[in-house]
Amino acid sequence: MSNGTQEQQSQQYIPMPQNAVFIPKNNQDDEIDLAELLRVLWHGKVLIIVVTLFFAAASVVYAINQPNTYKASALLSPAQSSSGAGGLSALAGQFGGLASMAGINLGGQEQDKTGLALEILKSRAFIEAFIKDNNLLAPLMASESWDVNTNKLIYNETIFQIETKQWVREVKYPKTPQPSLWEAFEEFKKHLIVSEDVQTGMIKISIEHYSPEIAKSWLTLIIAEINQYMRIMDKTEAQNSIDFLTEKLEQTQLSGMQTVFYQLIEEQTKTMMLTEVSDEYVFKTIDPPNVPDEKSGPQRALICILVTMIGGILAVLLVLIRHFSAKPIKEIDKQD
């Protein structure tokens, strides 16, 4: 009896702990069989070829219909002399104490005119004024290609009627048929390319457009206008400083302070003279803009290659998804 009882107890079910992990003995069904993948792709080769060829044909049609773009470039160098800033720095070291007693800050740090001009060149206020002053809204926002034979822009008639000079684009509120300057600014940023060589200090400015003539014209205009803008700004600041210093000079009786004011007025007068010396006030042209003969875009071959590759990848994924999504259903049918 005792032996039989022990055998029965040993055969009783022993519950597994709650934290026990069940590990299947055979997990081969969950593994991806490379040979099976190759067979699936081979059976779906017709679909893969058809989808890939469709994407390839669509990419060719799309690339051919893209208009050519042309990029005009100019190489510039900083033209601003630092003599004025250096003079102010020397005065700051010599008369900084006396000037601070009179409530005047001489500074002492040279101002980077080139960096400031580049930031102004890319600023919203400057670009919006540039577009408005030169009537660039229509060729910027409504042109879609360029006619080589007539050397004229082709406008999108659903956006702008060239005969009546009216904007007819359909937009939702708050936009209006005529694009705002903010929209024009966002679009112009796509055409403007500014780069600076840190080692040499040279600046390269480029304008890209459907028309090579317009690209060259806009680039010439924007270089001239940034030079003019910086010239007027410095001239105005120098004149305001001279007026302020002259007023202070009349109010003081200290000979030391009068010396400071006279030298400051002299430095500001030098700045006034520099603004009248040359039209290239901040940027000196090394390589002027020219009408480009060769297109800069689009890269049609690259477009075709990338779109065809995307089509092939999508076709492969489609075949695999279709196979593995149908596989559980087939297994259930076999079991039934």
| Alpha carbons 183 and 190: distance in angstroms, whole number | 11
Do 305 and 225 fall within a single domain? no
Do 185 and 205 fall within a single domain? yes
pLDDT at 26 over 60: no
Do 249 and 154 fall within a single domain? yes
Higher pLDDT, 82 or 323: 323
Do 177 and 247 fall within a single domain? yes
Rounded to 5°, the CA angle 178-135-164 comes to 55
pLDDT at 188 over 80: yes
pLDDT on residue 23 = 46
Contact 51, 318 (CB under 8 A): yes
- At 209, give phi and psi (nearest 5°): -155, 165
| Alpha carbons 322 and 48: distance in angstroms, whole number | 12
Q: Is residue 334 part of a domain?
A: no
Dihedral angle, C-alpha 149, 151, 157, 163, nearest 10 °: -110
Q: Is residue 209 part of a domain?
A: yes
Dihedral angle, C-alpha 276, 278, 281, 284, nearest 10 °: -170
| Alpha carbons 108 and 267: distance in angstroms, whole number | 13
pLDDT on residue 209 = 93
pLDDT at 148 over 60: yes
205-232: per-residue pLDDT in tens? Answer: 999 999 999 999 999 999 999 999 999 9
Do 311 and 243 fall within a single domain? no
Domain span including residue 237:
70-287
Do 114 and 249 fall within a single domain? yes
| Alpha carbons 77 and 216: distance in angstroms, whole number | 19
Per the structure, the count of domains in the chain is 2
Helix, strand and coil percent figures for the chain, each rounded to 5 = 60, 10, 30
Q: Is residue 23 part of a domain?
A: no
Do 154 and 239 fall within a single domain? yes
**pTM exceeding 0.85:** no
- How confident is the model over 178-205, as a mean pLDDT? 93
Q: Is residue 135 part of a domain?
A: yes
53-85: per-residue pLDDT in tens? Answer: 999 999 999 999 889 999 999 999 998 654 444
> How many C-beta atoms surround the C-beta of residue 188 within 10 A?
21
Do 177 and 315 fall within a single domain? no
146 contacts: CB under 8 Å, gap ≥ 6: 67, 68, 152, 153, 154, 210, 211, 212
Do 75 and 134 fall within a single domain? yes
Q: Is residue 1 part of a domain?
A: no
Half-sphere exposure of residue 334: CA atoms within 13 angstroms, side-chain side:
6
Rounded alpha-carbon distances, angstroms, from residue 175 to 137, 155, 181, 183, 207: 15, 20, 11, 9, 27
pLDDT on residue 178 = 94
Q: Is residue 151 part of a domain?
A: yes
pLDDT on residue 237 = 87
Helix axes 212-251, 124-133, angle to 10 degrees: 120
Do 162 and 58 fall within a single domain? no
